[in-house]
Amino acid sequence: MEKSTIRLRTSLLALGLGACLVAGCGEDGPVARAGGGVSVAADAEDPIVFADVPDFGLTSQLGEPVTRESLLGRPYAVAAVFTTCVGPCPRISSEMKRLQAELKGTDALLVSISVDPEADSPEVLRKYAEGFGADPERWLFLTGEEELVYELVREGFKIGVARAGEEEVRVGFQVTHGTQIAAVDKRGRIRGWYDSQTDEGVGRLKERMRFLATEDLP
């Protein structure tokens, strides 16, 4: 077994990654736990596979259905965002925009899933996407029923998300979520999680996606 794979698997055990990625990990209370998370940045060519993405059905910014099956055959990077977010989302979307430019010439997709789906209709997402210069052939913004979205983000992509309590919350702070970007291969399998808030994390994700775009899978 390759050293990088051994190191990653050891890290999973040490961090209790299964629980951390579903709930989100942090240092200070439930909001931090929901909005934090653990990045497991597999090396670009590492063969490690962490999990299969489950079946899902969401709607794109163009009002078109998007499913697990419809994405098979192309690798994709997945992030959780919402359009009114004033926390980490603007940087996440800016980094996704940079990835769109730097992955040009590959068949890699970018996928942003709204974690405030009741507010983020396809039309709202379309305008948000246009603001970031998103090419709908290469960068999808997805929405759907909140319960299903949250289950998919938490259990499927292993990114923490939680809606704020019933008390009045300022717009922009109504949802907390993990800031990792998940890398998914052509067969719909998660191949790592990368920190969207650092240049190093995004750089490693870029190299991972370039590899996944050329990886020869049976």
Helix (H, G, I), strand (E, B) or coil at 41: coil
| pLDDT (tens digit per residue) in 63-101 | 999 999 999 999 999 999 999 999 999 999 999 999 999
Rounded CA-CA distance 20/150 in Å is 15
Specify the CATH number of the domain 3-214.
3.40.30.10
For residue 55 the two structure tokens come to: 């079946």
Packing angle, helices 89-102 and 199-214, rounded to 10: 40
Residue 18 has pLDDT above 90, yes or no: no
- Greatest CA span in the chain, whole angstroms? 52
Model confidence band, residue 24 (pLDDT cutoffs 50, 70, 90): very low
State pTM to two decimals.
Answer: 0.84
- Do 132 and 97 meet the contact criterion of CB atoms below 8 Å apart? yes
Q: Give the contacts of 46 (CB within 8 A, at least 6 positions apart).
A: 2, 4, 5, 8, 191, 192
Query: pLDDT tens digits, residue range 27-38?
Result: 332 222 333 456
The answer to which of 12-16, 22-26, 130-134, 212-216 has the lowest mean pLDDT is 22-26
For the chain, the domains span: 3-214
